[in-house]
Amino acid sequence: MHVIKNTFRFSFLMLTLLLLSSLDAHAQGVNGKSDFWNNVRFGGGLGLGFGNNTFNLAVSPTALYEASNSFATGVGLNLNYSKFGDDKLLAYGASFINLYSPAPWIQFSGEYEQWRVNLTQNFSGTELKDDYWYPALFMGVGYRQGNVTVGLRFDVLYDDSRSLYADPLMPFFRVYF
C-alpha cells in the first residue's frame, strides 16, 4: 500500500508540473491565441513478437509538450500483452517523461512508468494468478538528430523478481512528430 500511495503522489506531482509548465511556458501569440498545440508532439512505441508458442504485443502512445528548445514534458499510456505457452501477462499503465537537451545533439531523460500487472501462470495443471502494481523510473541519455533520439536508459527502481523488463539497462529509440 505504501508503494501505491507514493506512486499516486508522484503521479499527481508530475501531472501538476505538466499543467503548470503548459500554462506558463509560452506567451500568447501576436493574434492573442495560444500556440500550445503547435508545441505538442506525438510519438510512442509499437512492438509485436512471435515465436514458438509465444506472442507479444506492446503499444505505448505518447504526447510531448515542448516548453522550449531545451525542455519537453509529456504523458503516455502503456499496454503489454504476452502469452508464453499457457502463461499470460497483461500489463497496462501510464507514464510521465521529461526531456532535457543542453545541446541540440544530446538528450537527457527521466521517465516514470506505473504498471498494473496481471500475471497468470500454469504449473502442472494448477493456475496461479498474481496481480500487482509495478513502478519503473528510468534515467537516460541519448544522441539526438532532429526529432529522433537513440540512447540508453536505466531503471533505478529495478526489481528482477517483479519487473516487466529483463534488465535494468535498455536501449531506446524515440521519434516524435
Tens digit of pLDDT for each residue in 10-46? 554 454 444 444 444 444 445 667 789 999 999 988 8
- Reading the block at residue 52, the C-alpha cell is 514458438
Strand order in the sheet with 54-66: 40-51, 54-66, 71-84, 87-103, 106-123, 126-145, 148-155, 169-175
- For residue 102, pLDDT over 50 is answered with yes
Tens digit of pLDDT for each residue in 56-76? 999 999 999 999 999 999 999
Torsion of CA 154, 131, 45, 4, to 10 degrees: -60
- Do 14 and 22 touch, CB atoms closer than 8 A? no
pLDDT at position 30 is 53
- For residue 94, pLDDT over 70 is answered with yes
Q: Which domains does the chain have, with CATH numbers?
A: 2-22+46-175 (2.40.160)
| b/e 100-109 (16+ beta carbons within 10 angstroms → b) | ebeeeeebeb
